[in-house]
């Protein structure tokens, strides 16, 4: 395992389980659940930590609970296989792909997180929803780029 996968503590088997479309889509479903759990501090006070913890536990467990995907067919599965290639850093990744990924993280990430943080702190709906939309669209775009990376490597014969 290389540094990238060690950082995420994901074995090859865990990556295969994470590539299950149910894993991908239920992680997306956790986004509004987490925001609702944080927002619930208004009604639950400190008890809001229980739903927040439940979402965090789910996000941690998620890549371990679904059946592994050995041959990706679904778009989301191909995206996760491409993400694995990205983190393993042994597959040829174009400079353009790396540049765009960095741009999205450096520019898009802080804007998105600022909107979400402000919205959840001030209990303002529009920045929270707009930030969540940017987060979701960014993640979908990222998965799509990784799916393209996987398909490109498959065409080149680097993937079976």
Domain count, the chain: 1
> Is residue 133 included in any domain, yes or no?
yes
> Is residue 27 included in any domain, yes or no?
yes
4 has a pLDDT exceeding 50: no
Kindly report the pTM of this predicted structure. Answer: 0.83
pLDDT at 5: 43
pLDDT at 117: 97
The boundaries of the domain holding residue 31 are 3-155
71 pLDDT band, cuts 50/70/90, is: very high
d(CA 14, CA 55): 19
> Is residue 160 included in any domain, yes or no?
no
90 pLDDT band, cuts 50/70/90, is: low
> Is residue 60 included in any domain, yes or no?
yes
């Amino acid at each position: 395992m290389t540094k990238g996968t060690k950082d995420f503590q994901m074995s090859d088997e865990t990556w295969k389980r994470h590539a299950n479309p149910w894993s991908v889509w239920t992680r997306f479903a956790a986004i509004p659940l987490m925001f609702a759990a944080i927002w619930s501090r208004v009604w639950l006070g400190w008890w809001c930590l229980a739903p927040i913890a439940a979402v965090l536990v789910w996000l941690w467990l998620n890549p371990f609970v679904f059946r592994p995907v050995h041959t990706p067919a679904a778009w989301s599965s191909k995206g996760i296989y491409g993400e694995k290639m990205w983190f393993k850093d042994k597959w040829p990744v174009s400079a353009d792909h790396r540049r765009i990924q960095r741009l999205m993280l450096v520019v898009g990430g802080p804007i998105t997180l600022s909107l979400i943080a402000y919205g959840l702190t001030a209990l303002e709906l529009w920045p929270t929803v707009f930030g969540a939309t940017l987060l979701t669209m960014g993640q979908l775009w990222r998965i799509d780029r990784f799916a393209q990376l996987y398909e490109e490597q498959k065409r080149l014969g680097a993937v079976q």
